[in-house]
């Protein structure tokens, strides 16, 4: 029986080839490289197979690029172009002929169809491979797509960077101003006097009367980026058989006093809360990612690239839960630089405002206080930040994961920021 391998992961190429036996592909949602097998090619016969593509994640993360207008151009060398069909949801499919005992190259280019009617190249990748008599592996690395070399007007600024800046990539006289960061800042975190900062107790979150805007000690916090409200509603992982709200009212906000960054996360969770797992990611928890100098590296290793998790429920099964609780449930990320010891936090179970979707209950609350110097953040300079939520409704492993800046899953789970710190938004502290 013919089987088709179909693995959907942003910016990865997967050959899906008809063969007589089922071919298994094992991968982790945190991996950046996926390997898949060619079939055994019979002597003198070319094997045909399906080729499925998604745009590089870097393009999907660029808010100014319209994913519905992205299209790939694929060529086998030798062999010529591969006709690609739009499957919808940013997925494309084509058919290839792979000759045996041949040295080949595959070239992939991604174009955006602009309103002007012009097609603009944004990213490309070319890779050599050799076919033989036995199953082989072709590996396409998600980070191997190149964007910097594509500069239509030769002004020294890549086409992708010009799209991010909303300048004309075909006009050498229209270039974006220099930016201190590697990504455009979309979030300005306001300053507040140290005498007015929030208390980190899990109790101070409230909405103004008849509004969905924060009041009280968090009223001066930033609640919107340039791209809209700070919702944590990009579904990254779905491992639940139960119905769930696909547009939850999970939100976050932030402010600073020149010495500390204060973060508020509110979670609209109508199901039971869980705190039974040794891994915090498998319980109700949040994950906060910080790139202190906005270096935008694609792997961890920089001393100010960090992420950590905070569980809603404490080790003794109680809430509120804080850094002063016995055995506080806070953990450093697997790939992160060491977490500073002075992180303060407190959680509150249903201590927030009334739920929008479920008026009979209140939002769960996380309040966090981070020392700027310990995290390498400088007021006035850009830094990377991402906020994500793990939701466990019935014990054991988590059921759902949501992100703020992270791109949504498209048929398969995505969990990119834990292995690639470039998948953060960019913020700056006002001075």
Q: Are residues 100 and 221 in the same domain?
A: no
Average pLDDT value over all residues in the chain: 81
CA distance 347 to 266: 10
pLDDT category at 23 given cuts 50, 70, 90 is: very low
Give the end of a domain, one of 147, 162, 196: 147
Residue 416: C-alpha distances to residues 285, 335, 356 (Å): 18, 12, 30
- List CB contacts of 321: < 8 A, sequence separation 6 or more: 202, 311, 312, 313, 314, 328, 329, 346, 347
In the prediction, which pLDDT does 17 show?
Answer: 30
pLDDT of 395 > 90? The answer is: no
Give pLDDT, residue 46: 39
pLDDT average, residue stretch 167-182:
67
Instruction: For residues 294 and 231, state if they share a domain.
Output: yes
91 and 42 within one domain: yes
166 within some domain? no
Q: How many residues does the chain have?
A: 431
Let me know whether 111 and 220 are in one domain. no
- pLDDT, one tens digit per residue, over 111-143 is 999 988 999 999 999 988 777 766 555 555 556
**Highest mean pLDDT: which of 244-258, 374-388, 417-431?**
374-388
Q: What was the pLDDT predicted at 138?
A: 58
Across 55-64, 382-391, 417-426, the highest mean pLDDT is recorded for 382-391
Using alpha carbons, list the distances in angstroms from residue 329 to 63, 348, 393.
35, 14, 18
**What integer pLDDT is reported at residue 80 of this predicted model?**
85
Q: Domain range spanning residue 293?
A: 187-429
Domain count, the chain: 2
Is residue 391 included in any domain, yes or no?
yes
- More confident of the two residues 4 and 257: 257
Q: What is the pLDDT of residues 69-96, one digit of tens each?
A: 898 999 888 888 888 888 877 778 877 7
Query: For residues 142 and 127, what is the distance between their CA atoms, to the nearest angstrom?
Result: 12
What's the CATH code of the domain at 132? 2.60.40
Q: How far apart are CA 113 and CA 130, in angstroms?
A: 33
pLDDT of residue 402 exceeding 80, the answer is yes
Same domain, residue pair 242 and 309: yes
- 59/327 Cα distance (integer angstroms): 42
Q: What is the pLDDT of residue 282?
A: 93
- Please indicate, yes or no, if residue 83 is contained in any of the structural domains: yes
Residue with tokens 């310990």: 374
Answer yes or no: is 420 within a domain.
Answer: yes
Please give the residue that has the higher pLDDT: either 263 or 182.
263
pLDDT at res. 136: 53
- For residues 308 and 414, membership in a common domain is answered with yes
Task: Tell me, yes or no, whether 171 lies in a domain.
Answer: no
Same domain, 137 and 197: no
Q: Is residue 316 part of a domain?
A: yes
Which range of 98-107, 150-159, 191-200 scores highest in mean pLDDT? It is 191-200
Residue 157 included in any domain: no
Q: Do 278 and 131 belong together in one domain?
A: no
Give the distance, in angstroms, between the CA of residue 333 and the centroid of all CA atoms in the same chain.
15
The answer, yes or no, to whether residue 339 has pLDDT greater than 80, is: yes
Q: Which of 125-139, 222-236, 350-364 has the lowest mean pLDDT?
A: 125-139
Let me know if residue 175 belongs to a domain: no
- How confident is residue 12, by pLDDT bands cut at 50, 70 and 90? very low
Between the CA of residue 10 and those of 104, 153, 427, what are the distances in Å? Answer: 24, 28, 24
Task: Yes or no: say if 20 and 63 are a contact pair by the CB < 8 Å rule.
Answer: no
Residue 344 and residue 206 share a domain: yes
Contact 92, 45 (CB under 8 A): no
226-258 b/e with 16+ CB inside 10 Å = b?
Answer: eeeebbbbbbbbeeeeeeeeeebbbbbbbbbbe
Calculate Rg over the CA atoms of the chain: 24
CATH number at residue 244: 2.60.40.1190
Shared-domain flag, residues 100 and 191: no
């Amino acid at each position: 029986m013919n089987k088709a391998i179909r693995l959907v992961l942003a910016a990865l190429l997967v050959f899906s080839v008809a063969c007589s036996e089922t071919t298994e592909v094992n991968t982790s949602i945190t991996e950046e490289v996926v390997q898949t097998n060619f079939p055994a090619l019979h002597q003198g016969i070319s094997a045909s197979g399906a080729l499925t593509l998604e745009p590089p994640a870097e393009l999907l993360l660029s808010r100014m690029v319209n994913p519905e207008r992205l299209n790939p151009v694929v060529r086998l060398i030798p062999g010529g172009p591969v006709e690609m069909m739009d499957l919808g949801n940013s997925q494309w499919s084509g058919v290839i002929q792979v000759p045996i005992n041949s040295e080949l190259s595959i070239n992939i280019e991604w174009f955006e169809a602009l309103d002007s009617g012009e097609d603009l190249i944004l990213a490309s990748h070319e890779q050599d491979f050799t076919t033989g008599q036995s199953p082989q592996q072709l590996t396409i690395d998600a980070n191997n797509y190149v964007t910097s070399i594509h500069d239509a007007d030769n002004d020294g600024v890549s086409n992708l960077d010009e799209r991010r800046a909303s300048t004309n990539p075909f006009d050498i006289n229209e270039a974006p101003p220099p930016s201190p960061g590697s990504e455009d800042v979309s979030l300005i975190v306001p300053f507040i006097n140290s005498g007015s900062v929030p208390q980190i107790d899990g109790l101070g979150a409230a909405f103004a009367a008849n509004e969905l805007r924060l009041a009280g000690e968090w009223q001066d916090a930033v609640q919107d980026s340039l791209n809209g409200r700070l919702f944590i509603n990009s579904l990254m992982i779905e491992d639940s058989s139960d119905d769930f709200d696909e547009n939850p009212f999970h939100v976050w906000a932030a402010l600073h006093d020149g010495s500390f960054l204060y973060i508020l996360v509110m979670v609209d969770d109508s199901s039971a809360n869980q705190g039974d797992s040794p891994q915090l990611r498998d319980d109700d928890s949040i994950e906060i990612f910080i790139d202190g100098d906005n270096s935008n590296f694609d792997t961890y290793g920089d001393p100010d690239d960090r992420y950590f998790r905070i569980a809603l429920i404490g080790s003794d099964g109680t809430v509120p839960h804080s850094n002063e609780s016995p055995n506080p449930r806070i953990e450093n990320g697997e790939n992160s630089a060491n977490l500073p010891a002075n992180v303060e936090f407190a959680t509150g179970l249903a201590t927030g405002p009334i739920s929008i979707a479920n008026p009979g209950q209140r939002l769960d609350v996380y309040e966090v206080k981070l020392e700027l110097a310990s995290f390498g953040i400088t007021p006035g300079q850009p830094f990377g930040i991402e906020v994500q939520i793990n939701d466990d409704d019935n014990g054991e492993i988590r059921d759902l994961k949501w992100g703020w800046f992270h791109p949504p899953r498209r048929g398969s789970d995505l969990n990119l920021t834990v292995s690639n710190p470039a998948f953060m938004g960019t913020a700056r502290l006002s001075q």
